[in-house]
Amino acid sequence: MPELAVVAPTYNEAENVRPLLDVLEVALVGIDFEVIFVDDDSPDGTADVVRSISQRSPHVRILQRINRRGLASAAVEGAMASSAPYVAVIDADLQHDERILPVMLARMKTNNLDLVIGSRNVGDGSMGEFSANRVRLSSFGRWLSGIACKASISDPMSGFFIVRREYLEEVVRSMSNRGFKILVDLVASSERPVRFEEVGYTFRNRIHGESKLDITVGIEFIELLLDKKFGRFVPVNYLMFAGVGSAGVLLHLAIMTALLRPGLSFATAQVISSSIVIAFNFMLNNLVTFRSARLRGIQFVRSFLIFYVACIIGLVTNVELARFLQANGLQWYLASAFALFVGSVWNYWISEIFVWRVSQRRKRLRAREVTRRAEPIEAELN
């Protein structure tokens, strides 16, 4: 049994596979280790490259995921696929300094820790040649992560760490597995203080591949924080849906203000504004809230019509419910707030089930995965 599993999530990083293995072989001399590449079905053939290498190197393995994306879930699945008592997570793009892995592992064992984190913010660590904007963004993420984390970590945005298997199994069922920032998820999922230390390193420039940092990463990070704080009480997708709705309310007020100034009637302005805002909410929810089930082509048009009708029904119900509550003695602002909440739940329910059909898509993906796993077994039996 290997002592250390090195998990490297990949996507379109075939060029990095061999170089990463070469530097790990040098850095981990004297340590019994295995390397698990978790590839999200890269179109550049990353999985095939790893399979070819694993034919000659049995300590190299591939876990190829179909119809799934995300660094955090990839790292967790790779870790759970190993029997090693310690699991290191490292990027495949060679930006993390693999030479400190033996130091991190020694700290883990000597001090009986749950986590040892490769940090750019302690000791001799640095952000390397990060631009000033990237440094500020990382600092802002560090500040935000303090909302969810129960530990004072200098570099919670780090994707380079070693975790003890016992600790991973203690928290894994409480993890969100959202997005790219798995370290925050690991720490925030613990019900007790986490025993950890940090080892400094200098972040390197990427040799091959492209940066994974984009607006989606930022959205997923916000979702992760929301899930850690409120996920036990309210679905995160509903919070995102409500956030989009709040943006729609602000847009509605701005449009109404602009339309009423020329003397347009209130009713006409309301119809025009509501029509624009419903379309705005649909497109933003398609891009953000339900991006994993994003609609395109004819599906987009058909679902937009369903969403539009549902929102009109929700709007009429909202108005009538508020009027009824106010007529029965409730203050107007309380009646309006309650009716708004009921309307948002209605719109979210319709969107989840009938517009983006999230649950149906999840069932289909699970069914495909079960079929894919069963095929080799059936072939073996036959």
Q: Residue 191: pLDDT band by 50, 70, 90 thresholds?
A: confident
**Cα(139)–Cα(154) distance, integer angstroms:** 10
Q: Is 20's pLDDT higher than 90? A: yes
Average pLDDT over residues 36-45: 93
Structure confidence at residue 350 (pLDDT): 80
**Assigned token pair, 104:** 């991190």
**Assigned token pair, 122:** 């302690």
Dihedral sign for Cα 65, 68, 70, 74, please.
negative
Structure confidence at residue 151 (pLDDT): 72
Q: Residue 351: pLDDT band by 50, 70, 90 thresholds?
A: confident
Average pLDDT over residues 159-170: 94
Q: Is 213's pLDDT higher than 60? A: no
Q: Is 19's pLDDT higher than 90? A: yes
Helix, strand, or coil (residue 55): coil
Q: Tell me phi and psi for residue 235, to 5 degrees.
A: -60, 135
DSSP 163-185: EEHHHHHHHGGG----SS-HHHH
Q: What is the pLDDT of residues 238-285, one digit of tens each?
A: 788 888 888 888 887 788 888 878 777 776 777 788 788 888 888 988
Q: Is 380's pLDDT higher than 60? A: no
* Domain range 4-230, CATH class: alpha beta
Structure confidence at residue 45 (pLDDT): 92
Q: What is the pLDDT of residues 98-149, one digit of tens each?
A: 999 999 999 999 999 999 999 988 887 777 655 555 556 566 666 566 666 7
Share of the chain above pLDDT 70, in %: 79
Look over the chain and give the mean of its residue pLDDT values, rounded to a whole number: 81
116 burial type by CB count under 10 A (0-12 exposed, 13-18 middle, 19+ buried):
buried
